[in-house]
Amino acid sequence: MRTSVGRVPVGIVGAGPAGLLLSHLLHLAGIESVVLEARSREYVERRVRAGVLEQPTVDLLREVGIAERLDREGMPHHGLSLRFDAADHRIALTELTGRCITVYGQQEVVKDLIAARLAADGRIEFEVTGVALHDIDGDAPRISYVDAAGRPAELRCDVVAGCDGFHGICRPSIPAGVLTEYQHTYPFAWLGILAKTPPSHAELIYTHHERGFALHSMRSPELTRLYLQVDPDEDIADWPDERVWAELAARLAVDGEFTLHEGPLLDKGVTPMRSFVVEPMRYRRLFLAGDAAHIVPPTGAKGMNLAVADVRVLARALTALLKENRTDLAESYSDTCLRRVWRAEHFSWWMTSMLHRFGEHDAFQRRLQLSQLRYTVTSTAAATSLAENYVGLPFD
């Protein structure tokens, strides 16, 4: 079968928040792109991922016209609770920083971005296979793939954006020895559930407990998202619904009034905990963004927000490169992004280290954690540091 060959300024691999938002930002700048995605549209619009948007992320989505449903259905939160010693200790995010977070599922952001791209006749190809990069050592990279109908195709590009996640094909396409990888694996994982029940608390609860960490979150007024610290090799089959609810009740217990609302489980899965950063985030005209370049443990709620920050920088760099023949922003792309990435990596590591159980018999570690927690909730300076990192540092 004959290969279909097309020409596009920017080829984007991956239709997650990074790839879709990059395509939208480029469209606003008058630059055409094509987004390639291995999964179906239904899959990417339904997969449950992050749900906390930083203030700068919300501001950007409003600025570029993607926030109509977000403003209508998103849930602004002006504080969060650190729960330990069987008590809640509220961090007043807005009072301390003047900013807030908004709870709005990543899949909802993806739906909004897909709708916006299709409304503008943007080209998103779902269910592609065999994606491969070619000629990335030069100034005219190519992407070959097989489309959803089984026809071989090729895109000739000025630039390729690798927004295809940690397990994607773009980062491994870069020649050996070019990238430096920094990584850390944590000795635990999260068992996450999505329950059809109203949230049990108005704000997020981060719980430090002798049985392990727990997190109470939500996705809407009718859907609750909850997490339990478990072993990294935990078998999901060992966690029937009754055990999940019993363990959540034990770890979220507090002196005073608190009722854990139970309901049918719509989703259940185990997520490994790791930190990962690759430097640089660019090889010639191949640029990495989002999870393709870095992973953070979800404790700090930074993953999707870092992807948004990356493509904001990348869209400006590509606009300068392709419309003005300026190379300075493209050349500084990696360094600019990595400053924010490493700040988020540290904050996520700090939150993770403060809240999780690291060993059944590590009494020294536990007392250090309790000391840090007590200091954080009683010191205005410490609480402000947590708050300003959590709501999101300004982009510029």
How does residue 212 score in pLDDT terms, banded at 50, 70 and 90? very high
Task: Tell whether the model's pLDDT for residue 5 goes beyond 90.
Answer: no
Q: Could you say which of 17, 141, 297, 298 is catalytic?
A: 298
pLDDT tens for 49-70 read: 778 999 999 999 999 999 999 9
Q: Average pLDDT of the chain? A: 96
Residue 77 annotated to the active site = yes
Q: Of 299, 209, 297, which is closest to residue 249 (Cα–Cα)?
A: 209
pLDDT tens for 323-378 read: 999 999 999 999 999 999 999 999 999 999 999 998 776 889 999 999 999 999 99
Residue 333 annotated to the active site = no
Residue 206 annotated to the active site = yes
Task: Tell whether the model's pLDDT for residue 17 goes beyond 80.
Answer: yes
pLDDT tens for 249-289 read: 999 999 988 999 999 999 999 999 999 999 999 999 999 99
- Alpha-carbon distance of 77 to 80, in angstroms, equals 8
Q: Could you say which of 24, 294, 302, 356 is catalytic?
A: 302
Residue 302 annotated to the active site = yes
Would you state the pLDDT for residue 110? 97
Write the CB contacts of 391 (distance below 8 Å, at least 6 apart in sequence).
54, 55, 93, 97, 99, 100, 101
Residue 227 annotated to the active site = no
- Alpha-carbon distance of 128 to 172, in angstroms, equals 18
Q: Could you say which of 77, 201, 216, 356 is catalytic?
A: 77
Q: Taking a C-beta distance cutoff of 8 angstroms, is the pair 312, 364 a contact? A: no
Q: Could you say which of 104, 145, 333, 390 is catalytic?
A: 390
Domain ranges in the chain are 4-77+100-183+274-351, 187-273+362-391
The matching CATH number, chosen from 1.10.1060.10, 3.30.1330.10, 3.50.50.60, 3.30.420.40, for 4-77+100-183+274-351 is 3.50.50.60
Architecture of the CATH domain 187-273+362-391: 2-Layer Sandwich (3.30)
